[in-house]
Amino acid sequence: MTISEQQLVCTRPFEWFEIHPDGSVFLCCPAWLKRPIGNLLRQSIDDIWNGPVAQEIRKSVSNGSFHNCSAKRCPHLLNRTAPVKCIDEVADDELKVAIAAKKGKVSFLPRQLNLCFDHSCNLACPSCRNKIQQASGLELQRAQRISQILQQKLIPHAHHITLSGFGDPFASPTYYNLLRTFNQRDFPELQQVRLHTNGQLLTKQMWQSLPDLPPLVSEIEISLDAATEQSYRLNRPGGDFQRLLQNLDFLKTTGCRLTLSMVVQQNNRHEISLLGNLAEKLGATLYLSKLVNWGTFSRQEYQRRAVHLSNHPEHADFVIQLQQLDKSATRFGNLSPLLKP
């Protein structure tokens, strides 16, 4: 795609390093930018980070073409929000120089690590997977090897770490053991850790077992996909809604920024306002996103659930519902285009 208005760039491919279970590395969420730039288990970091694919992707966001990116799925391209911005708005001088050069090569190592290399999770949510998964055998060996590489070569240079967009950080022994190593003494460059979890295992006891972590935590995103026990059973099989509410009450006391997120579909859209009320009670932000089929639904089932699709029988009512929400308290992500007249 070509941005016809004032030229925009994206800073993410100059900072982001996302690792998946087979070692594949991406410069952005692969739902938005599908091309991997290399494999951490088979290549050196420099061959990945400044390899030909990485450089080509960076050139495409430096010149404003964004031809590797999905303008329909990426909420930042859709809404013209950071990390998509005009180059004059890039505050970091080193980053600005790298983007302005339009050569695609950078002199610094990744500053933002997005850890998605262990699929272990205590729940089997239909929007993500069709069974509970726990890494074992070769998968576990790969996860442990990736964790070692991270600790030795990447985390010492990272400013921000997110885990996990895949699996749960507290259901994975590999992730948990990695979290135990995070501290500002050993990693002085590390400024922020962002946690993305279903919240079932994030109890007071779990939080207290990681004493060096809380000062680093910038945000905790809890994915609920429901605001009532009935819908929670449908969208979070195996989860305990009352336990989740107890954990949320505790997390409110930690002072961490909280986000409650919902992947909106036909069976939970009527609970968006209820979830917004819960977010307000907790001092949290509500984040909404559209349903993506990760291979867990048949085409027919996906179309039945995907209320954001224009041909869905409830789509028109859903759009009205979104437009009536408090926009100051809600982040609409890739649903934002539905707010436009």
Both 193 and 163 in a single domain?
yes
Domain-embedded: residue 110: no
Both 148 and 265 in a single domain?
yes
Residue that is last in its domain, among 69, 101, 133: 101
Domain-embedded: residue 112: no
pLDDT truncated to tens, each residue of the chain (341 aa)? 343 446 789 999 999 999 999 999 999 988 889 999 999 999 999 999 999 999 999 999 988 889 899 887 888 887 788 899 988 899 888 888 988 888 899 999 999 999 999 999 999 888 888 788 899 999 999 999 999 999 999 999 999 999 987 899 999 999 999 999 999 999 999 999 999 999 999 999 999 999 999 999 999 999 999 999 999 999 999 999 999 999 999 999 999 999 999 999 999 999 999 999 999 999 999 999 999 898 899 999 999 999 999 999 999 999 999 999 988 999 998 898 899 87
Domain-embedded: residue 1: no
Domain holding 56, by residue range, is 8-101
Cα 193 from chain centroid (whole Å): 12
Both 38 and 161 in a single domain?
no
Overall number of domains in the chain: 2
Domain-embedded: residue 256: yes
Rounded distance, CA 35 to CA 53, Å?
A: 8
Residue 6: per-residue pLDDT: 62
Both 222 and 321 in a single domain?
yes
Residue located via tokens 């295992």: 201
Both 44 and 163 in a single domain?
no
Q: Does pTM surpass 0.85?
A: yes
Cβ atoms within 10 A of the Cβ of 134, count? 15
CB-side exposure of 292: number of CA atoms within 13 Å?
A: 13
Residue that is last in its domain, among 41, 74, 101: 101
List, in sequence order, the alpha helices (H) in 150-198: 173-181
- The H or E element containing residue 231 is helix 229-235
Which of 280, 281, 303, 283 is closest to 291 using CA atoms?
Answer: 303
CATH of the domain at 310: 3.20.20.70
Instruction: Name every residue whose Cβ is closer than 8 Å to that of residue 323 and which is 6 or more positions away in sequence.
Output: 338, 339
Burial state string for 247-256 with b = 16 or more CB within 10 A and e = fewer than 16: bbeebeeeee
Residue that is last in its domain, among 101, 135, 162: 101
